[in-house]
Structure 1
Amino acid sequence: MSVLNHVQTARLKVWRRVTALIFCTIALWMPFTAQSQESKPKFRVIAIAEAGGIHKPFVDAAKIWLAKEAAADNFAIDYIQNTDKINDEFLSHYQLFIQLNYPPYAWKPAAVEAFKRYIEEGRGGWIGFHHATLLGEFDGYPMWQWFSDFMGGIRYTQYIATFATATVHVEATDHPVMKGVPKSFVVKDEEWYTYNKSPRPNVHVLATVDENSYTPNTNIKMGGDHPVIWSNEHMKARNVYIFMGHHPDLFENAAYTTIFHNAILWASQK
């Protein structure tokens, strides 16, 4: 074999080794890149919930459920226990605000203004639960009028302290939050708030509770029209209020968790 052929053969061997090394490197790098891309959350959620109180069991159950949801739907969630940190800069890091049984009073002034901008300007979405409509004068604080208007112009009046099981009827079957939810479902042992009036004229009602289905029966009723899930479409932010939220057993109710799941995915998108 000539010297030229030896050189060509050696070069070919080197080229094959280099090519093999390149392909191995790409093969090793691609899964890592894909994994890195998948690990980056699609959106970030901030949830505000009191550290203790009568709703702590519900909040604790919600946190366990939300951890599973975050892993399945690839979002990140943080928690705060008061409004001290809330301002424009803080909220700019989150695409969704969950008011997890936190009341609409005793908010710091900076938090009030930042939250209003967040909702009115559509800087992020909002899901509120249960205690979020405790609107009135409580613990020495005046009613937050803006939040009352946000919730349809209502004021809290009373609740069923002994609890009642009832049937909830879905009205807006075509709304994304109600996708996959049966037209009617039962909620056990809820304390069903009443308000001074129905929010219906000012909001889009998604579901109502059938007051005739209360078990045991009670005279604490709104007189027929009793919305329990609604959205204020006058605001730029996607928003939904879900009244039910007292007992941790709600996270064993498939209709309830479907609504919560749908609300997260819908409200987090602009």
Structure 2
Amino acid sequence: MLKTLAMILGVALAQATGNPHLPPKVVDTTPPPVPAGLKDAVLIVSKTNGWRHIEHIPHSNEVIAGIARDLGRRSFTTENAAVFNDRDLRRFAVVVLNSASGDFLTPAQQAAFTRFVARGGGVVALHAAGDDSHKEPWYDATIIGTTFIGHPNGDDHIQPARVVVDRPQHPVMAGVTQPWTLSDEYYSFSANPAARGMTVLARVDEGSYRPGAKLAMGAEHPVMWVNPRAKGHVFYSALGHNPEAYDDPNMRRILANAIRWAAK
């Protein structure tokens, strides 16, 4: 109880003192003007009511928009969560949650997002879109399927590690070259999401970096997975803390594959 209270006070203090990683919480109620003529487009959302990844969001948003363009799809990038309404979401085939964090959807917006996936809409969730700031039960069960417990800090915060593709035959993993070493902030989770029905596509080799005793998951340390139970195609990648990660050829290939796959 005391630890939780201290964490809440710490976040509140950081927000009050203007820490750019912890911007003040904003609840959006008026939808943004969505460009006319969008159909089966890609919605890129980097709304942060939790930890804001100022390191990569500007660059990764541009990279994702460029990938959508290369796939022949228009895109719209916003940090206004009120775009999650039935009218606007029907104009998109895929929602990319680009390190969207915190309690960023109102109950009505969450319900619209739920209906979007239920009618076959695709989701590509990246990095902090899977951290522990996401508490809504549907989001937890449908998008993540496990609980984030931390990542290395200090000198070990960013480390090169070997990413192992377990399902090279899956469309999202098509063309990924191995061996693959990527420098990143490696998330750890309370359990393998496969235990809750997810299909793990890739994992990190713990023997290739230093997770620390409290964050070690053993041989099965997942970093990418899909939800085969959802009506829409849902993909999550825990990778992507650094802007440089989005220039990695394998990462770009996976993002393009994931958007194409999620859009069916």
* Normalised-by-shorter TM-score class: 0.7 to 0.9
- Aligned residue in 2 for 1:18: none
| Superposition CA RMSD, Å | 2.2
Q: Distance in 2 between matches of 1:224 and 1:109?
A: 38
Contact 2:151-2:211 at 8 Å conserved across structures: no
- Structure-2 residue corresponding to 1:187: 182
Q: Which residue in the other structure is 2:150 paired with?
A: 158
TM-score normalised over the length of structure 2: 0.77
Correspondence for 1:47: 44
Equivalent residue number for residue 104 of structure 2: 106
Q: Distance in 2 between matches of 1:42 and 1:149?
A: 28
Go from structure 1 to structure 2 and tell me whether the alpha carbon gap of 1:210 and 1:67 turns closer, same or farther (over 3 Å shift): same
Structure 2 residue matching 1:187: 3-state secondary structure:
strand
Q: Which residue of the partner structure matches residue 3 of structure 1?
A: none
**What percent of counterpart residues are identical?**
27
For the residue of structure 2 that corresponds to 1:98, the secondary structure is strand
Q: CA shift at 1:51, angstroms? A: 7.2
1:129 counterpart = 2:126: yes
Aligned pair count? Answer: 222
Q: Deviations over 1:16-57 (max 9, x none)?
A: xxxxxxxxxxxxxxxxxxxxxxxx977311111137965233
Q: Which runs of 5+ in 2 are unaligned?
A: 1-36
Q: Which runs of 5+ in 1 are unaligned?
A: 1-39
Distance 1:54 1:112 in 2: 20
| Separation in structure 1 between the aligned mates of residue 40 and residue 223 of structure 2, nearest angstrom | 27
SS at match of 1:206: strand
Q: Residue 199 of structure 2 contacts residue 227 of structure 2 at CA under 8 Å; is this kept in 1? A: yes
TM-score, normalised by the number of residues in structure 1:
0.76
Q: Contact 1:229–1:243 (CA<8 Å) still a contact in 2? A: yes
Provide the C-alpha distance between the structure 2 equivalents of 1:250 and 1:187, rounded to a whole number of angstroms: 7
Specify the alignment match of 2:258 in structure 1.
Answer: 263
Distance in structure 1 (CA, Å) of the matches to 2:135 and 2:211: 30
3-state secondary structure, aligned to 1:181: coil
Paired position in structure 2 for 1:221: 216
Moved over 6 A (4+): none
**Aligned pairs (5 A) from 1:1-270:** 43-50=40-47, 54-103=52-101, 105-122=103-120, 124-135=121-132, 138=133, 143-151=135-143, 153-161=145-153, 162-188=157-183, 190-201=184-195, 202-214=197-209, 216=210, 218-219=212-213, 220-269=215-264
| Matched residue type, 1:179 | A
| Superposed displacement of residue 79, structure 1 | 1.4
- Counterpart Cα distance in 2 of 1:239 and 1:224: 24
Equivalent pair of 1:104/1:133 in contact (CA under 8 Å): no
Distance 1:67-1:119 versus aligned 2 partners, 3 A rule: closer
Contact 1:127 1:263 in 2 (8 A): yes
Shift of 1:256: 0.8
Could you give the per-residue CA deviations for residues 98-128 of structure 1, whole angstroms, max 9, x where no partner exists? 0000025231111110111111331x11100
Q: How has the CA–CA distance of structure 1 residues 111 and 184 changed in structure 2, closer, same or farther, with 3 Å as cutoff?
A: farther
User: Judging changes above 3 Å, is the alpha-carbon distance between structure 1 residues 163 and 91 closer, same or farther for their aligned structure 2 residues?
Assistant: same
Q: 1:42 to 1:171 in 2, by over 3 A?
A: farther
